[in-house]
Structure 1
Amino acid sequence: MKKYAFIGCLGFIAVITTEFGVIGVLPQLAEHYKISIDKAGYLLSAFALVIALTGPFMTLLTSGFNRKKIMLTSIFMFMVTGLVSSLSPLFWLLMLVRILPAFLQPVYIATALSVAVSQADEHRKNELMSIVFNGVAIAMVTTVPFATWIAGVGSWEYSFMIQTVVSVIALVSIFYFLPSMPVKEKKSYGNQIRILKQPPFILSTLMNFFMITAWFSTYSYFADYLNKAKDMDTSMVSYMLLLFGVVGVIANWIAGKMLNKNVVGTTAVFLSGTVLIPVLLYLSDGNLWATIMVIGVWGFLYSPSFLNASTYMISSAPESLEFANSLATSFGNLGVTLGTTIGGWIIVTKGVEFTPWVGLVFGILAYLMMILRNRVEKQSEGAAVYQN
């Protein structure tokens, strides 16, 4: 039912606004708290690390709870985070209130996807999942650049106020428009955990990890990169985030259609950006219009990354959608953590202009995992044919 997918999408906008809205104001936060940019990056990497370490366990623990209540509780935590953060707390408290909702982020995503496809035909599931994941791209179009822009004309606290408002809207929508959804039949933990022994799923997980690491080694420092490597001010960066998101909405819609036809091929096409974008950013040099065009391509190839990663992983374990997706979220966020950490280290030791090349290395590793999975699956098919 499309209504459920759109409600899930709205909540996803709140989630992404909170997680990634901080990217555009990292330089201001670093200046306010008198810390280096890599330490300010902990606000993103610590959030992602909590998701990576606790996501699958939290999803398993909550798998028997009413889905509406889970979604409400998750978004309520994101609302509290935005509210407290907007009050300009001490840095340790800002870090703490950002970490708390991270425990429920993968639970929300897995639940929202499950609700979206609960009444769908098999051939429409990827399309409905793409609607939910469009929350990522829509946030990049609207709330994330708006939060960056308003922080530029006012102060960084205003960006967290935007996050609070978005969470309140999502909370009200879930409360009024989503019916109660108790879980009728809870799957056993053993049946869900079994996928961890399957080589194709393990390789798919590693592909996801390397792909997200590749993207976030540069994207985590999007504002800092454009500011220092491309000489753009805060206002111009907010416009670039807007462009990034507008193209991303289109990309998510296209990716959803493509995934219905070919999951592996679609994932490979969009993964190409991890190798292509560093080269294009280097070639664009100081040319403003060339850089703007590259950012458009960057937004197109990056935006469906979480959708592609989840669909690619679920395709190797379709019988465990929620648990497989929680692992996709966890390892994706582990990639966010590693990418942010390595990117920050490169900025401090070499300079921000070198961060895209980190992405190229991890992008190649992601392609290698796809090749290995394809080989393993062909060997399994060959063995099955031989036995028959």
Structure 2
Amino acid sequence: MKKYAYIGCLGFIAVITTEFGVIGILPQIAEHYKISIDKAGYLLSAFALVIALTGPFMTLLTSGIDRKKIMFIAVFMFLLTGIISSFSPPFWLLMIVRILPAFLQPVYIATALSVAISGADESRKNGLMSIVFNGVAIAMVTTVPFATWIAGLWSWEYSFIIQSVVSFIALITIYFLLPEMPVKEKKSYGSQIKILAQPSFILSTLANFFMITAWFSSYSYFAEYLGKGKGMNPSMISYMLLLFGVIGIIANWIAGKMLNKNVTRTMAFFLSGTLLVPILLYLSDGNLWATVVVIGVWGFLYSPSFLNASTYMISSAPDALEFANSLATSFGNLGVTLGTTIGGWIIITKGVEYTPWIGFIFGILAFLMILIRSILEKRNQQFSTCHN
């Protein structure tokens, strides 16, 4: 049902606003706590690391619980995080409250996707999934830049107040508009875990991991890169986040349509940005309008990455949708962790202008995984044709 997909999308906006809303205010947080930018980046990488390490297990453990309850509890945790963070607690406490909702983030995403496509025809499933994933792009165009703009206007704590408001709206919507959804038939752990032994699933997982690492080596430091690498002020950076998100919404809609036709080609098309964007950013140099155009291209090719990664992984394990998607979320966030960590190290040792080139290297690795999976599947197809 489309209604369920839109409810899932709203909750996703809350989730993404909390996870990535910190990107635009990392320089301010670093200044407030008198720490380096790479240390402030732990707020993003630690969050992502918890998701990466616990996501699949949490999804398996909660697979028998009523879906409405799971979605409600997950968003409630995000609300709690925003409220406590807005009081600018000591950095160690800020880290703890940032990490807590991370345990339920992949559970929320997997559940929201499964609720959205429940009872839908095969031909409509990718379209409904793209509605849920539009929460990423909508957050990038509304709440994330707005929170960054408000933080620039007053202080970084106000960014977390915006995050709390978004989470509260999502919580009320889930409570009143989503019916009780008990799980009728719980799949056995064994039937879900067996996908881990499938070569095509392993290659899809690695493609996802390398792709997200590629994007987040520079995107995690978006504000820092545009500030120090391109000389933009906080207000201009919030406008760039806005542009990034507006184009991202269009990109997600287009990706949803393209995925219905060919999953692998769609994945490869948007992945090409990891190779193209570093070159374009280098060529744009100090030219403001050229940089604005490149940010538009960046936003278009980056935004559907989570949707593409999930669909690509699920396409190799259609019988274990929720578990496959939780693994997509986990390995995607492992990519966020690695990309943020390497990006922070490069900023400290070389300079922020070098971060996009990390993406270039990991982008090539992701393309390699896609190529190997395609060759493997073609061989399997030929083998089964010969023996039929």
C-alpha separation in 2, matches of 1:376 and 1:291: 40
Which residue in 2 is equivalent to 1:4? 4
Which residue in 2 is equivalent to 1:247? 247
Alignment RMSD (CA, Å): 0.4
Which residue in 2 is equivalent to 1:334? 334
Q: Report the 3-state secondary structure (helix = DSSP H, G, I; strand = E; otherwise coil) of the residue aligned with 1:232.
A: coil
- Structure 1 stretches (4+) deviating beyond 6 angstroms? none
Which residue in 2 is equivalent to 1:278? 278
Aligned amino acid, residue 320 of structure 2:
S
In the TM superposition, residue 323 of structure 1 has moved relative to its aligned partner by 0.3
Alignment of 1:6-155 (within 5 A): 6-155=6-155
Q: Report the 3-state secondary structure (helix = DSSP H, G, I; strand = E; otherwise coil) of the residue aligned with 1:335.
A: helix
Alignment of 1:348-387 (within 5 A): 348-387=348-387
Q: Report the 3-state secondary structure (helix = DSSP H, G, I; strand = E; otherwise coil) of the residue aligned with 1:286.
A: coil
Q: Report the 3-state secondary structure (helix = DSSP H, G, I; strand = E; otherwise coil) of the residue aligned with 1:179.
A: coil
C-alpha separation in 1, matches of 2:247 and 2:302: 10
CA deviation string 1:317-357 (max 9, x = no partner): 01110000000000000000000000000000000000000
C-alpha separation in 2, matches of 1:147 and 1:122: 38
In the TM superposition, residue 249 of structure 1 has moved relative to its aligned partner by 0.3
Unaligned runs of 5+ in 1: none
C-alpha separation in 2, matches of 1:371 and 1:121: 30
In the TM superposition, residue 382 of structure 1 has moved relative to its aligned partner by 1.7
TM-score by length of 2: 1.00
In the TM superposition, residue 386 of structure 1 has moved relative to its aligned partner by 2.2
TM-score by length of 1: 1.00
Aligned amino acid, residue 177 of structure 2:
F
Aligned amino acid, residue 364 of structure 1:
I
Which residue in 2 is equivalent to 1:160? 160
Aligned amino acid, residue 100 of structure 2:
L
C-alpha separation in 1, matches of 2:207 and 2:265: 14
Alignment of 1:182-221 (within 5 A): 182-221=182-221
In the TM superposition, residue 383 of structure 1 has moved relative to its aligned partner by 1.6
Aligned amino acid, residue 381 of structure 1:
Q
Alignment of 1:257-296 (within 5 A): 257-296=257-296
Aligned amino acid, residue 192 of structure 2:
Q
In the TM superposition, residue 387 of structure 1 has moved relative to its aligned partner by 2.1
Q: Report the 3-state secondary structure (helix = DSSP H, G, I; strand = E; otherwise coil) of the residue aligned with 2:22.
A: helix
C-alpha separation in 1, matches of 2:135 and 2:180: 22
CA deviation string 1:185-219 (max 9, x = no partner): 00000000010000000000000000000000000
Would you say how many aligned residue pairs link Structure 1 and Structure 2? 388
Which residue in 2 is equivalent to 1:317? 317
Aligned amino acid, residue 381 of structure 2:
E
Aligned amino acid, residue 280 of structure 1:
L
C-alpha separation in 2, matches of 1:16 and 1:180: 24
Residue 256 (1) aligns with residue 256 (2):
yes
CA deviation string 1:284-337 (max 9, x = no partner): 000000000000000000000000000000000011100000000000000000
Aligned amino acid, residue 7 of structure 2:
I
In the TM superposition, residue 379 of structure 1 has moved relative to its aligned partner by 1.4
C-alpha separation in 2, matches of 1:334 and 1:320: 21
In the TM superposition, residue 381 of structure 1 has moved relative to its aligned partner by 1.1
In the TM superposition, residue 95 of structure 1 has moved relative to its aligned partner by 0.2
C-alpha separation in 2, matches of 1:331 and 1:373: 17
CA deviation string 1:39-86 (max 9, x = no partner): 000000000000000000000000000000000000000000000000
Aligned amino acid, residue 89 of structure 2:
P
In the TM superposition, residue 119 of structure 1 has moved relative to its aligned partner by 1.8
CA deviation string 1:240-287 (max 9, x = no partner): 000000000000000001101110111110000000000000000000
Q: Report the 3-state secondary structure (helix = DSSP H, G, I; strand = E; otherwise coil) of the residue aligned with 1:63.
A: coil
Q: Report the 3-state secondary structure (helix = DSSP H, G, I; strand = E; otherwise coil) of the residue aligned with 1:248.
A: helix
